[in-house]
Structure 1
Amino acid sequence: MDVNAPVKPNLAVRIVAWGAIAFLMAPIPIIILVSFSSAQYLTFPPPGFSLQWYERFLGSNEWVQSIWVSLQVAVFSAVLTMVLATMAAIPMVRGEFSKKSIVYAVLLAPMIIPVIITAIALYFVFTKVGLNGTVLAITIGHTIVVLPIAFVVLSSTLQGLDPRLEKAAISLGASPFVAFYKITLPLLMPGILSAGLFSFLTSFDELIIPLFLGGPTTQTLAVRIWNSVVMEIEPTISAVSVFLIGMTIVVMVLAGFMKRAFRWTGSGGPQQENSHA
């Protein structure tokens, strides 16, 4: 008997797993069908087919403005998170210094502190410096919330890299900066991109931070959805939900292509990859 052979799940485990997946995925087709409803209110099944809610969503200056604000905040937050998480992960994984546990606690604190507490604290701070109601304020708030998770992702990726590769480059005459840029950074790039994509999606869906730090002209899409649900529930929300689902799928597909591209580059091309196989 081969002890290394993979263990196949039995029929009961498969049924439970697929049942759980079906339960989690069931709301998605319902939302998609409702978004094409011809009714003037939320109802399922829809009485007819219509694109009126997509026209109202994409034809509204308020909704389009919220999409633009969310995109700005998400992109800026993702870039800032990637830079800060990389700068924090390298010394925390490779460096040796006292009080490292305290620094770890500070970096991971936003994961423990409730987001609403962070939002209230940032609100009072940004009010004093006049940043409330700006894209910059929301970006900083989102970066603080997402940074700990990105730091964990990059730390685990960096721990899987062999530091002897960088030391070998330095021993051959490369400066520490060149060794990092030529050796460590390319190997770390899949983790950086994964952290960036996760930061983008999290920032795009975040509600509490922009609810406190946003303003009348800087309402993100999540805040606009919240206000629409509180004030008036109409099928436009379902069209917005389908838009968010589609954007999430696009980002995940893009992440898959990036991972394949880095795997292909790291293996020296398809021929060498096949030879390894």
Structure 2
Amino acid sequence: MAVPSYATPLERIWHYAYVAICVAIFFFLIAPIIVIIPLSFNAEPYFTFTEKMRSFDPEGYSLRWYDSLLTFGMQAPDAVRDTSWWADAWANAKWVKAAKNSIIIGVCSTIVATSLGTLAALGLSRPEMPFRRAIMAILISPMIVPLIITATGMFFFYSNPCELLTIFGFSPQCGRLAGTYVGVILAHATLGIPFVIITVTATLVGFDQSLNRAAASLGANPRVTFFRVTMPLILPGVVSGALFAFVTSFDEVVAVLFIAGPDQQTIPRQMWNGIREQISPAILAVATLLVIFSIALLTTVELLRRRSERIRGLSPQ
């Protein structure tokens, strides 16, 4: 925004200082993310800019680390890239396995978190709900409590989920959840539910409850009222919460370190293993792809937010 012509010299100085501060903050936040993108095209196995990269020599840049995401762990990485080669990559490449696990766990945990979080938000939005503040504090506690504490508690609980019931005199027979897909999905859903509750609750703040009463007066039962009136209006908030829950699951590494077994390796866990065992710029290639993926999700969330504001009449059409 340009400085108005009637601004005083002091106001002009503050305007330019404000712009400089904003640029400095933006650079401080975005520089560590942006720097990994060119480094992922490094032709050498280094985490620094080589002399050829600084001089923009084409020989200093390569896609070898992106290619290694497909070949690492394959039985025949140097074979002809026909159908059998792609089948080998799909079945044996470690990064491909990690991506499949991340998508499976992320989608399943998002469905669970979105369903439970939306139901909780609908209940907490009702004025007759007792102890709303206390219940809200409990439900969003996984987002507030340090993650290492939450992951430790989930590890001991999922290792023997029926042990807690023995305190109350029950002796059920339960299987071990730690080291299984179900355990990892439930753990990620636990971490994603607070984000769904917050986004859906924020959407319900501007919801006109008279619409539900009008639907009931016209003969609609609660189920029809929810799916035909309430759900279409709060859908942008529900989808935004689902996206946040998916991102939380997709980026989670601490809970996976505690709960997941060898078969549930996700992309963050594979990156952790790569840093510990063999430092390779392939990690930078994965990070670049994740940055692009995150930008796409954030763009979707922003578009949904604007659509929600238009539907609720908070912004011009």
TM-score higher than 0.5: yes
CA deviations 1:190-248 (Å, max 9, x no partner) are: 00000001111111111111111111111111111111111221211111111111111
* Aligned partner letter, 1:78: T
The alignment's C-alpha RMSD in Å is 2.4
For structure 1, which segment, 181-190 or 23-32, has the greater mean C-alpha deviation from structure 2 after superposition? 23-32
Greater helix share, structure number: 1
Partners of 1:212 and 1:180 in 2: how far apart?
A: 39
Tell me the percent identity. Answer: 34
- For the 8 Å contact 1:34–1:45, the answer to whether it is kept is no
Partners of 1:198 and 1:169 in 2: how far apart?
A: 31
- Pair 1:111–1:29, CA change in 2 (3 A): closer
Partners of 1:73 and 1:219 in 2: how far apart?
A: 10
CA deviations 1:101-143 (Å, max 9, x no partner) are: 3322321221232211221122122222322222221111111
Alignment of 1:78-93 (within 5 A): 78-93=110-125
Give the corresponding residue for 2:126: 94
Give the corresponding residue for 2:226: 180
* Aligned partner letter, 2:47: L
1:10 aligns with 2:15: yes
- For the 8 Å contact 2:105–2:184, the answer to whether it is kept is yes
Partners of 1:189 and 1:175 in 2: how far apart?
A: 20
Q: Which structure has the higher relative contact order (CA within 8 Å, separation 6+)?
A: 1
Q: 2:258 aligns with which of 196, 212, 215?
A: 212
Give the corresponding residue for 1:75: 107
Q: TM-score, normalised by structure 2?
A: 0.77
- For the 8 Å contact 1:34–1:46, the answer to whether it is kept is no
Q: 1:119 aligns with which of 151, 175, 187?
A: 151
1:238 aligns with 2:250: no
Q: 1:258 offset after TM fit, Å?
A: 4.5
Give the corresponding residue for 1:103: 135
Q: 1:146 offset after TM fit, Å?
A: 1.9
1:255 aligns with 2:301: yes
- Unmatched 5+ residue regions in structure 2? 1-11, 53-59, 73-92, 161-174
Q: Secondary structure at the match of 1:94?
A: coil
Aligned residues: 264
Q: Which has the larger radius of gyration?
A: 2
Partners of 2:236 and 2:149 in 1: how far apart?
A: 32
Q: 2:275 aligns with which of 229, 248, 253?
A: 229
* Aligned partner letter, 1:81: A
- Pair 1:160–1:46, CA change in 2 (3 A): farther
- Unmatched 5+ residue regions in structure 1? 1-7, 268-275
* Aligned partner letter, 2:274: S
Q: TM-score, normalised by structure 1?
A: 0.87
* Aligned partner letter, 1:202: T
Partners of 1:57 and 1:27 in 2: how far apart?
A: 22
- For the 8 Å contact 2:236–2:307, the answer to whether it is kept is no
- For the 8 Å contact 1:73–1:139, the answer to whether it is kept is yes
Give the corresponding residue for 1:270: none
Q: 1:95 offset after TM fit, Å?
A: 4.5
1:55 aligns with 2:67: yes
Partners of 1:208 and 1:20 in 2: how far apart?
A: 29
- Pair 1:178–1:46, CA change in 2 (3 A): farther
